[in-house]
Chains A and B, each alone.
Chain A
Amino acid sequence: MVNEAIRCERVWQEISNFLEGDVEPGLRAAMDEHFKTCKKCVSVLEGTRNVIRLYGDERMIEVPAGFSRRLERRLGRSRKGPNVVWSTWSAWLVPLAALLLIGGGIRVANSTSVPRPMLSEHANPGENIPPDMLVVISADAKDFHVRGCPFIHNKDKERTLTAKEAMREGYVPCVRCMRKYLETAEAGHISLEQEAQTDVDGDDQAVTGAR
């Protein structure tokens, strides 16, 4: 109004940018000139400037009583709980490694403290088998049988010998015809193998002595 170069309405719309230092030099010069003669616009300028200054003062921000203490306490609680920084996959590595270590440890401990069970009934040496009992073996087989056992293979190549001899040759009792000797084997564990081995040692000593 007062200044021909720029109208008051334009000054009001640019007053905020003017205070931000965000008007191009030509407009700034025109506004500066306008303020020299327009009391209304000076009022708007000074009022706005004071609004910015007053509200920008730190004292205008008030927090509820105890706010700082509660915030500090909550941050402290979060530190005592799970580490919030570990929010990625790496957070799972430590517990996973611990589980693997525990599992592995248990496995190793079991392997050394507990007798390993028989892997197969067919490898069981049996118990209380009379050493002089006559048994039958056949070619290409690993078992010795009671004569007449229907599970003897290659009957045309069968051979009769004592149980002690069969054991010494590495044969094991048939799980069918000699089952009664196998059922008690795990409890007593008196192995014919030991007896057979004793006999082998004795025979060897005899041979040595003969020499």
Chain B
Amino acid sequence: MAEANVFVNNPGLAEATREQDLIARVQRGQNELFYELVRPYERRVYAAALAILRNESDAEDVAQEAMLKALANIRQFRAEARFSTWLIQITVNEALMRRRRERTAIMEGMDDRRDEEGEYAPRDFADWREIPSESLERKEVRQRLAEALATLDRKYREVFVLRDMEQLNIQETAEALGISVASVKTRLLRARLMLRDLLAAGWEQGWFSRLPFEKGTKPW
């Protein structure tokens, strides 16, 4: 009873315990439970693959391959890492390998040469306020945000997605992409500032025009 109360008071703990139990059972050979284990992360796995490949079909295929690889190597998973992080890292590896095979990196890499050394200065200093999370209920808003993200150069987009969308920490992001922690920090700063400016421009273009903002202010 006492244990049940602990879980009621702390749903996160209950979820973590349940995940550990599922991992142990799959590691013992109950492979039919694997989908139940990865289901909470399937969207994040797909998003990680899409950030690197920029193609929905390839991203889905790589997400599936990554899941199969995770299942094949589930016995190597150790509890020192979060399961979700381990899964995302496998996905990033798969996606990077796919991109290398298909040589798209060469094409994209041409865009990535500029701009790393120079400092990025924000362009818009309007009086912003917090944008309500409810705005994400609107597909149009999500679409606009996704489009803004897609305009970033690959190296900024990858770091931003892994850190701010996949919730890997700085060190994990660096390891997943095979770059230094300092590079992650630099790219993350640029990605965040560039997105901020893109969304400011989006405001000017009326992306959020139907949102209940006060007249004369921007959404943050």
Q: Using CB atoms and an 8 Å cutoff, list the residues of chain A in contact with chain B.
A: 9, 12-13, 15-17, 20, 22, 39-40, 43-44, 46-64, 67-68, 70-72, 74-76, 78-79, 83-85, 87
Contacts and interface: CB of A to CB of B under 8 A. Distances in A.
Contacts, number: 142
Interface residues of B, number: 56
B193 A72 contact: no
A84 B119 CA distance: 48
Contacts of A74: 64, 67-68
B133 A53 contact: yes
Most chain B Cβ neighbours within 10 Å, of A53, A59, A70: A59
B89 to A, nearest CB: 17
A36 to B, nearest CB: 16
A43 B72 CA distance: 48
A71 B68 CA distance: 10
A72 B195 CA distance: 35
Interface of B: 29, 31-32, 34-35, 39, 42-44, 46-47, 56, 60, 63-64, 67-68, 71-72, 74-75, 119-122, 124-131, 133, 136-137, 142, 145-146, 149, 160, 164-165, 167, 170, 185, 188-189, 192-193, 195-196, 199-200, 219-220
B5 to A, nearest CB: 28
A164 B24 CA distance: 80
A152 B64 CA distance: 83
B42 A63 contact: yes
B72 A39 contact: no
Contacts of A17: 185, 189
A55 B72 contact: no
